[in-house]
Structure 1
Amino acid sequence: MTTGNATEPPKRRKGSRAAAGTTTLAQVAQAADVSEATVSRVINRKYGVAPATRQAVEEALKQIGYERPLDNRLVVMLTPNLKNPIFALQAERVENELNPYGLTSIICPVYPGTPRERDYVESLVDAGVAAIVFLSSSNTLRDEDHRVVQFVESRGIPYVSINGGFPDSDTPVVSTDDWRAAELAVGHLHDLGHRRIGLLAGPTDNLPADRRVEGFLRALEQRGVDNPEQFVVRQHFNVEGGQQAASALLAQGTTGIVASSDEMAFGAYRAAERAGLRVPKDVSVVGYDDSPVLDFIGPPLTTVRQPIERIAENVARLVTSLISNRAVSTQEILVEPELRLRGSTAPAPTGT
C-alpha cells in the first residue's frame, strides 16, 4: 500500500463524445475479432457476453483510444445506511464531485454482504450504470461472499471502493488512513498524561475496524505499554456497542478512551455517566468521523475527522477515468485524517 494525497479532479472532457465518434464499431470489432453487435453490447455493458470476449473488446477499446461519453450515465453508490451522518455526508460529497461530469448518482442503503446489495445492482444495471462506488459497504467485510463483485465484473462495470478494497481485486481504493487515525488519538491522550488508554473497536473482520486496532496496538507498543491487547474491546459501531465496550474498559480503570466511531463515543459518555464519572474530568473520550452534531453535545466531542472532501475528489477522478477507459493506478490511496480538538479530553486525573 502507498499513501496518496488528494489531487484535483480532471477537467470535464468536452470532446468525449467526439473522441468516441472518431472510432467506428467496425474498427473495434476487427481489432477484437468479434462482431459489431458484440462490441455494442460491451460498450453499453449489456449481458450475454462471455468474460473473455468482454475483456478482448475492452482491451481493443483501450488500444484504439475509444472513450465512453460521460453524459447521462448512472453511478450507483452502495452504503450501509444513511442514518449515520458520516455516510450521508460522504455520499453527498461524491455526488457533488460527479455532477459536473453529467453523471447522476443513485444512493442505495444496503446491509453489506446481503442479497439486497446485489439486488440493487442487478435491478439498475440495464438502466445504464456507468460505475459502482462501494462506500464502506461489502468492501469492508473480509469473509463475506462477494457475489455482487462477481456480477459487476461479469458485466464489465468499473467500480471504486471507499475505506477498504475487496480481496484479490485490482480496482482502485480510496481510504482514510486508519492506522494514522489511531496514532493521532492515542498520541493526544498520552500527551495529556493518560497511561491507561482503551479502544472501543468495531467488529472483527471489518477492515477499517481491524486497521484501527492495528494502529492502536502499534501506538501503545511504541509508548512502552505491555500487553496492549487487554485494552481493546470489540463491539458494534453504535451507541449501544460503545456503551458496553466502554463499561468494560472503565472497570479496568481506563482514563482515556479512543472510540472507533462518534456513535461509540456517545455510548462511552453514557457508560461514564452510569459509572458516576465525568467527561473529561474523570475520563477523556476521542471519537472518530467528525459528525456534524459534535459541537452541540455536552461536552463537545474531540474526534479524528475523516477527510471526506478529499476522498470524494479522488473517487470522482477515478470514476471518470475508468468510465472513459483511461488507465488508473490500483494502489490504495490513503488520505490523511486530522484531529479535531473539542471539550471531551483533558489532562489525566491526578493519582492515575
Structure 2
Amino acid sequence: MPPGRLTMSDIAQLAGVSTATVSRVFNGKPGVAEATRASVMAVMESLGPPPDQGGHGNLIAVMVPELGNPTFAAFGNELSLQLAAAGQHMFLCSSGPGGLTEEQYLDTLLGIEVSGLISVSGSLADTLATPEHYQRLIAAGVPAVFINGYDERVDGAFFSTSDAEAISSSVAHLRSLGHTRIGLAVGQQRYQSTRRKTDAFLAQGLDPASVVSTIYSVEGGQAAANRLLDAGHTAIVCGSDIMALGAIREARVRGLRVPRDLSVIGYDDSPLMAFTDPALTTVRQPVTAMCKAAIDVLLASVRGLETDPTEMLFHPDLVIRQSTGPAR
C-alpha cells in the first residue's frame, strides 16, 4: 500500500481498533490503553509515513432531529456559530422523516474521524429507545455530550432545560390571572420531556384528567385543545410553541378569542413567536448558554479531561406576551 494513500481507516483495520482510537494515538491524546497505543504505533511505524487525516482532526458531529422544527434549527445554528468561534468544524446530522435515522448516522460516524459528538433531543429522550448506538460510539473513543436527553447508562455529559421550572412558572402566571381550570397539552408519554412536564404539572396540585397527550405538532395541539376546551378549561400550558399554535387555531375554529376566552402558553420561544397573532406567551430555553456549556465540556473531554455525568439543569425564562390574560 503506497504510504501517501494511507488513511485512518487503513491503520485501524490493520491494528484491529477503531478509527477514533487511531486518531487519538496519532494526535497524542490520552484515553487509550498503553497496549493498544503500542499496537497502533507499531502498525504505523511498519507502514512508513503517518496517515492522512483528511482535515478531520477538529470535526464535531452535531445530531439534531428534523430541522422543520424551529427549535432544533435554533440549536443547530447556535452550535454552528459557537463551534466555528472555537476553531471547530461542524458535521450536521439531521435525522428527519425520509432521511437517515439517528442509528444510521451513528453507525456512519464510527467510520469517520470525528473528534466528538453533540446530540440535541436525540433518542436518549425517548424512554422506549435503546442507548446502544451511543454506547458503541463512545466506547470507540468518541466523547459525547447531550442536550435535552439524559440516560444514566451512557458515559457522557448532559445539559437540559428544567421542565419543572418551566411548568411551575407557567402555572403560577396563569393562577395570578385568576385561572383555576388549567390544562396541559403535551406529546407522547414515552418522551422524557413529556413525563417531566406532566410530573411537574401534577405536583402543582392539578387534576390528572387535565393532562392530554397527543403529538408535538400543530395538529396535536389542536386535538388536545379540543378535549380541554370541551372539559371547560380556560387556560392551556403547551409542551411546545407548535402545539400552542394548534391550540390557538382550535380556539378560533370555535369562535373564541385568545386571550379573552382562552389563555395559551407555549414552550421554546421559537423564532417569530413574538410576531404571531396574538404574540405568544412562552417559556424560553437558554439555547446560547446550553450550547456554550456543551461545547466547553466536549472540547475538554476531547483533550482527555474527565466529564461529570450529572445532568446539569438550566433555568428557563417565562416570556409574557399577549396570549395570556385574566380569567373570565
Q: Residues 151, 299 of structure 1: CA spacing in aligned structure 2 closer, same or farther, 3 A cutoff?
A: same
**Distance in 2, Cα, partners of 1:275 & 1:39:** 59
Which residue, 76, 90, 93 being the options, matches 1:91? Answer: 76
* Kept in 2: contact 1:258–1:287 (CA 8 A): yes
Question: What is the alpha-carbon distance in structure 2 between the residues aligned to residue 295 and residue 58 of structure 1?
Answer: 58
CA contact (8 A) 1:72 1:102 kept: no
SS in 2 for 1:273: helix
CA distance in 1, matches of 2:126, 2:34: 32
- Other-structure match for 2:322: 343
Q: Structure 1 residue 166 and structure 2 residue 145: aligned?
A: no
Return the offset for 1:170.
3.4
What is the match of residue 237 of structure 1?
Answer: 216
One-letter code of the match for 1:340?
Answer: V
| Percent identity over paired residues | 34
- CA spacing shift, 1:283–1:40, aligned 2, 3 Å: closer
Aligned to 1:79: 64
Contact 1:118 1:147 in 2 (8 A): no
- Residue pairs, 1:94-243, within 5 angstroms: 94-111=79-96, 116-219=101-204, 221=205, 225=206, 228-243=207-222
Question: Residue 247 of structure 1 is aligned with which of 212, 215, 226?
Answer: 226
Structure 2: gaps spanning 5 or more residues: 1-14, 26-30, 39-54
1:145: Cα distance to partner? 2.6
Offset, 1:316:
0.9
Aligned amino acid, residue 327 of structure 2: A
Q: Deviations over 1:218-254 (max 9, x none)?
A: 12x1xxx4xx101000011110000000100000100
Provide the residue aligned with 1:305 in structure 2. 284
C-alpha RMSD over aligned residues? 2.8
- Structure with the bigger RCO (C-alpha within 8 Å, sep 6+) is 1
| Residue identity matched to 2:135 | Q
Indicate the SS of the match to 2:111: helix
Count, aligned residues: 294
Task: Give yes or no for contact 1:261–1:289 (8 Å, CA) kept in 2.
Answer: yes
Q: Structure 1: which amino acid aligns with 2:256?
A: L
TM-score by length of 2: 0.82
Distance in 1 between residues matched to 2:242 and 2:18, nearest whole Å: 49
Shift of 1:45: 6.0
* Structure 2 Cα separation of the partners of residues 210 and 59 of structure 1: 43
Cα gap change, 1:200 to 1:42, in 2 (>3 Å): same
Cα distance in 2 between the residues matched to 1:58 and 1:271? 64
Partner letter of residue 71 of structure 2?
I
